[in-house]
Structure 1
Amino acid sequence: MTQAFDIVVVGAGMVGAALATGLGQEGFRVAVVDRAAAPAYEPSSAPDIRVSALSVGSERYLRSLNAWQSIQSMRATPYQRLAVWDDTQHPLTNLIPGRMARVEFDASALSTSHLGHIVENSVTQQALWQTADSEANVTIIAGHGVSRLEQSEQHATLTLDDGRELEAKLVIGADGANSRIRDLAGIGVNRDQYGQQAMVVSIRYQGPVEDITWQGFQPSGPRAFLPLHSAGAKYPGESWGSLVWYDAPEQLARLKSLEPSELMAEIQSAFPNELPPLTHIDSVASFPIARQHAKHYVSGRVVLAGDSAHTINPLAGQGVNLGFQDAQCLQSILREAWRAGDDLASPSRLAQYERMRRPANRRMMLTMDLFYYLFSNRVPPAHLIRNLGLGAARALPFARNQVARYAMGIDTELPAVLRELTTRLPGFNRL
């Protein structure tokens, strides 16, 4: 028996679940398919090791989906400040005062109450599953994957691993960087693997919940701190946090092999002095990092969103925010297509989505690469340039704040000068 829907979303991660919710609220009959079940949440448990820095723009979108209240009822930590500095020791360091090598963004200077929230991925995902499940137009099919995709002029048909068939006018691939739907649709990718990997560490520290997230850059890569919630009455005076350490794979393998007390001592020694005293390491994981961009976002009745379409260097935590921007854009275009009586897979409508999202995603990819290569090396000229750049950012607060408002999703447009600059960066049109 074949079940018919307007749209099938494959992948119920944060972006896929958001799209299914939003499209269901628009009145579309939506099925969302995922191999996994909804993530569990236990208020007394340690935080999920996977966390994201959700921007103000993403918060606004999640509010529109009625998911933000559920997120806040679980766990979400606002931050008011964001700091970036060069932590590399080099003879040229003496040429520039230390304060010039640090830039701090403050919510008050941007006329907003906060810059964003640090939220566990499982918390965001569960809230979105709840909102999707509450929509009468949304059918969640959990615990199953897609084994086959067929397309015709009228519809697309998905065959699940249990033999069921789903028919839809449009299939949205939101099933991550290793997207099965992207492969079945015959869409290739351009991929660049970075030399570093990222190690994520869930920790407790002594002190109140911090209101700042920061990154200190070393030649081997940044070392970052993201504040989480209070550790509660069980651990008085302590708070949870998440650390990210970028380095060569062999260095991270060595660190992961250490006993918790030894790793804690290494972290306390290697991280900037701003790191509060650690009291406990709960969990550790590492993963390779890569920049990946689908050669096309659209193939017939298949369209990609989120990590299925693009992955970027995670050093600024913009991946999921870009995915939510994809979701909002695609949802808006499909709404207009439906109101106009157009086919949901209309080539002109889906081409409009790609025209809007591909350049924006490329700009963010190249901006992150620029940061990555400028800061992750020991070359003296680059060391001087990055310190001068940070000094210029301190001296030009208006321009700095314009960029920050865009990055945090407070403003929707990148300042014109920077938009023009990024399109002129080498490799822009190859991504």
Structure 2
Amino acid sequence: MNQFDCVVVGGGMVGAASALSLAELGLKVAVIEKYAPEAFAAEQAFDLRVSAISLGTEQLLTQLGAWQALTQWRICPYKRLAVWERAESYTEFSADAIQQSHLGHIVENRLLQLALWQQLQQHTNVTLMCPENVKNLAQDATGVKLTLASKVIEASLVVAADGANSMVRKLAHIGTTGWDYAQSAMLINVATQQPQQDITWQQYLPTGPLAMLPMPGQHACLVWYHQKAEIKRLASLSDQQLTQAVQQHFPERLGAVAVLNKAAFSLTRRHANQYYKNRVVLVGDAAHSINPMAGQGVNLGFKDVKALQQVIAQAISDGESWHNEQVLARYQQKRRTDNLLMMTTMDALYLSFSHVSPLVKLARNAGLMLANKVPSIKNKALAYACGIKLS
């Protein structure tokens, strides 16, 4: 029987970062994951799943030693972010306005996970158990017993980082609230006529946003939100037919493109009723899954990682029992309200731009135009989204 200070269930981006951040505190950590990330090769096609990594997340990844590998593989920095519905409401946010060299980077999820795994594999405090999965979980006053497919292990604390449909969350009897949105989304990797851009943008339509995320070289990742039936229809098109549809519906500023790959997924909102129970604590999508409209989902997960590390580090420093519920309650206090605020903001944005009322349309366009005229508010919102504080 193996004994660990902490077991992280889920070795994706947020789970791997959680394991590293806790191992850095001197804790003995095990990571349970079904699938290891594939090794990187420059000739590999771009991953469909990408994330807009904020400055705050970049700082965390640098601290954990993972960012350096990503800069040697492939990432795409962006300096500007644009949103609009009508031409007159065009609003652009710039890194220069908050005295930064860039706002963030577009990074393939698989490469981000791989960079973190390379650090896990080198860390003396980390045991990787892969392929492996959890079959059962039992808690008592002394810790947690996890029954895996091949063995039984024990831990003082279990971190659930196993996604929106978290098995650990269910086994810990932590409920959720949420719903499925009426829309779905399609991710489309394209080759572009234009060279690599330094801007990411979203145009809002009543049917849902159209977004462009720049990728290295003459490539981009497009995000197409629409009603579920329409996304299903688009997903059935050939690459050539979808290319024609993109050219017809996306803004002219996109330029000529050719579809390389595509995938569709449903949009859901889930929020755990609590972020901990006894010796189990939730991070990332296991705690909250959010409408991806503003690309904040994974950054919220990394904020969870940082907060959990901080409260446990402080407890260790103060001589407390770092895994008790009083410590985990501090983590919940740090993160649940912030996550709920972001989720509610995204829902308000979603409802606002899907509303067909002329008055609502006038109000939202006026709001965007007002943001351009009040730089202080605009820049504070931008800094918050980037995960930094303005001096």
TM-score, with structure 2 as normaliser = 0.98
Shift of 1:260: 1.3
What count of residue pairs does the alignment treat as equivalent?
391
Match of 2:256 among 232, 252, 277: 277
Alignment match, 2:71: 72
Shift of 1:38: 2.4
- CA deviation map 1:234-263 (0-9, x unaligned): xxxxx1110000001111111111121111
- CA deviation map 1:169-192 (0-9, x unaligned): 000000000001000000010012
Shift of 1:333: 1.0
Alignment match, 1:122: 110
Give the letter for the 1:177 counterpart. Answer: A
Alignment match, 1:169: 156
Alignment match, 2:184: 197
**Contact preservation (8 Å) 1:199, 1:252:** yes
Query: Residues 250-261 of structure 1 correspond to what in structure 2 (within 5 A)?
Result: 250-261=229-240
Shift of 1:332: 1.1
Query: Residues 231-250 of structure 1 correspond to what in structure 2 (within 5 A)?
Result: 239-250=218-229
Residue 49 (str. 1) matches residue 48 (str. 2): yes
Shift of 1:342: 2.3
**Contact preservation (8 Å) 1:8, 1:33:** yes
- CA deviation map 1:249-303 (0-9, x unaligned): 111111111121111011011011211210x212111111111100111110000
Give the letter for the 1:50 counterpart. Answer: R
Alignment match, 2:62: 63
**Contact preservation (8 Å) 1:170, 1:344:** no
Structure 2 CA distance, aligned partners of 1:255 and 1:174? 32
Shift of 1:412: 8.4
- CA deviation map 1:107-140 (0-9, x unaligned): 1111100000000000100000011111100011
Alignment match, 2:272: 294
SS at 1:218 equivalent: coil
Alignment match, 2:356: 378
Structure 1 CA distance, aligned partners of 2:245 and 2:294? 24
- CA deviation map 1:42-89 (0-9, x unaligned): 2111100000000000000100001110111111100000000004xx
Shift of 1:347: 1.4
SS at 2:40 equivalent: coil
Runs of 5+ consecutive residues of structure 2 not aligned to the other structure? none
**Contact preservation (8 Å) 1:40, 1:122:** no
Residue 321 (str. 1) matches residue 308 (str. 2): no
Comparing 41-50 with 180-189, which one deviates more in the overlay? 41-50
Alignment match, 1:397: 375
Structure 1 CA distance, aligned partners of 2:255 and 2:236? 23
Residue 141 (str. 1) matches residue 129 (str. 2): yes
**Contact preservation (8 Å) 1:169, 1:344:** no
Alignment match, 1:181: 168
Structure 1 CA distance, aligned partners of 2:232 and 2:216? 28
Shift of 1:148: 0.7
Runs of 5+ consecutive residues of structure 1 not aligned to the other structure? 88-97, 231-238, 414-431
Q: Once the two structures are aligned, what percentage of the paired residues are identical? A: 44
**Contact preservation (8 Å) 1:193, 1:289:** yes
Shift of 1:377: 2.5
Structure 2 CA distance, aligned partners of 1:354 and 1:149? 22
Residue 264 (str. 1) matches residue 243 (str. 2): yes
Shift of 1:196: 0.2
**Contact preservation (8 Å) 2:239, 2:261:** no
Give the letter for the 1:262 counterpart. Answer: Q
Structure 1 CA distance, aligned partners of 2:75 and 2:255? 20
SS at 1:61 equivalent: helix
Residue 105 (str. 1) matches residue 96 (str. 2): no
- CA deviation map 1:330-384 (0-9, x unaligned): 0111112223332232111111111110000011001111111111222111101
Residue 352 (str. 1) matches residue 352 (str. 2): no
Structure 1 CA distance, aligned partners of 2:21 and 2:329? 21
Structure 1 CA distance, aligned partners of 2:3 and 2:38? 27
Give the letter for the 1:116 counterpart. Answer: G
Give the letter for the 1:68 counterpart. Answer: W
Residue 154 (str. 1) matches residue 153 (str. 2): no
Give the letter for the 1:149 counterpart. Answer: L
Alignment match, 2:17: 18
Structure 2 CA distance, aligned partners of 1:44 and 1:376? 40
RMSD: 1.2
Alignment match, 1:426: none
Structure 2 CA distance, aligned partners of 1:393 and 1:31? 47
Shift of 1:398: 1.1
Structure 2 CA distance, aligned partners of 1:133 and 1:338? 25
SS at 2:216 equivalent: strand
